Amino acid sequence: MTRGELGDLLAAVNACLNGTAGVLLLLGRCAIKRKLVALHRKLMVSAFVVSSVFLVCYLTRVYLTGTHKFPGTGWSKTLYLAVLLSHMALASVTPFLAIRSLQLALTRRIEQHRRLVRFTWPIWMYVSVTGVIVYLMLYRPI
């Protein structure tokens, strides 16, 4: 397998990891709404682990193949860049928010955790969903 082939494979793996993190985040939110605290904890820790694996795979892919140029032009490129830039900006703060949210929950500082996850959850969810969208736009253009 060439570096390029491995990079393309890792890009698909990354999209799957982002999608999985998004599903786990959604299920975690549903669990806590139903006051299923133990299930919520497992789902959110799982989302954190999946997102951490994503980060390792993403950095590996960038090391192997670098960044990729969007193949389209015009409005589709503008849309792609808007999604990508918002994704990147929010992705840069997500690990810090997620780590702090997890730390607060695991140390049972629940009120502080609740206040922070009002911001963390939607940002993390947006990053997970737009990660899949960026992959589809870049690697699977219509």
Residues 55-95: tens digit of each pLDDT: 999 999 999 999 888 988 999 999 999 999 999 999 999 99
pLDDT at site 120: 98
pLDDT in tens, 41-56: 999 999 999 999 999 9
What is the rounded average pLDDT for all residues in the chain? 95
Residue that is written with structure tokens 């919520």 in the block: 40
Q: What pLDDT is recorded for position 92?
A: 97
Report whether 125 contacts 25 (CB < 8 A).
yes
How many Å apart are CA 115 and CA 101, to the nearest integer? 9
Q: Which long-range contacts (CB under 8 A, 24 or more apart) does 12-15 make?
A: 12/135, 12/139, 13/57, 14/54, 14/57, 14/58, 14/61, 14/131, 14/135, 15/131, 15/132, 15/135, 15/136, 15/139
Q: How far is CA 134 from CA 63, 67, 74, 108, in A?
A: 18, 12, 17, 36
Domain boundaries, given as residue ranges, for the chain: 3-139
**What pLDDT is attached to residue 1?**
85
Prediction pTM value:
0.93
pLDDT in tens, 9-21: 999 999 999 999 9
Give the pair of three-digit tokens for residue 39: 């299930």
97 or 139, higher pLDDT: 97
